[in-house]
Structure 1
Amino acid sequence: MLIAFNKPFNVLCQFTDSSQPPRATLAGFGLPPDVYAAGRLDYDSEGLLLLTDDGRLAHRLTDPRHKEDKIYWVQVEGTPGDEQLQALRRGVQLNDGPTLPARVERLDTPTLWERNPPVRFRKTVPDAWLAITLREGRNRQVRRMTAAVGLPTLRLVRVAMGPHNLEGLQPGQWRTLR
């Protein structure tokens, strides 16, 4: 079984949480029993999370050797210059080593659901949207990459993994895939 789930902002990619106070988890969304996340999406990120009950499928979906594209729409603080975009495209140096090259494009502001709480708007600080496609998945990688080039991430939404995408799912909604 493979499920596409639109993970809301500030929800953990697991079914339990031992922190105090407990945070929202996947347990609150009526997902089928015995599925688990194929990969992770940060607590403060949103969008497509694939869940499965098949360990081999989970491995194939998340192992970088299988080169499944992961597409993110990223709202950044600042106005991206050509030099910053080229650095992201070439790959940037992070504490845990250089990243692989990424596909990066400027985006018009996408039509998305409201985030709760919303991203803080500041009149004097511009922001912009980028589409970033990765083939690896390090911890908080997109946020660390944009910060490394001087463009802190304000909002991060994964819209696709390989051939799978959100296709109109609202936050908290899920569907079974073939």
Structure 2
Amino acid sequence: MTTHVVVMGVSGSGKTTVAEGIAERTGWIFAEADKFHPQANIDKMASGTPLTDEDRWPWLRDLAAWMAEHAARGEDTVITCSALKRSYRDVLRADVAALGGGHRVVFAHLHGSAELIADRLKGRKGHFMPASLLQSQIDTLEELAPDEDGVVLDLSADPQQLIDEAVADVAPGR
């Protein structure tokens, strides 16, 4: 059985910081989902245009395949991904679930106020996602449903506390 943690949330919520911390603590393989985007998606977002579902499906399938490849080798993973909609999370779960054998895809949702996230985005440098797209992500976000494996973390907490909480939920004993 393997575990695959998807650290999710809107842009600027701290996904990379928390995911890297989980990977460091657990020794699991880490990937930044932004690295899987085709250049057309990056250019679209950089120009201030939100992605559509059609833009996202191939990207999500690539992320799911990456997790499934590692699961098939018995390797646990941690990946960042906005995973804004339930249907997106369903795609991320599908390939790993198809392997059978009790593999787990669990979501760590970094949740917080739009004001806090907007303040963080103002200070962020070197990322293609402009702060102007934050509201479109907030509008798209569907909270984790009770039947989804995951934990909601208050992103106003210290990053180390968020990492501790996530690890306690997804990798007890680490």
Hey, which of these two has a bigger chunk of helix by percent? 2
User: TM-score under structure 1 normalisation?
Assistant: 0.26
Higher strand fraction (1 or 2): 1
**Please, what TM-score do these two structures have when normalized by structure 2?**
0.26
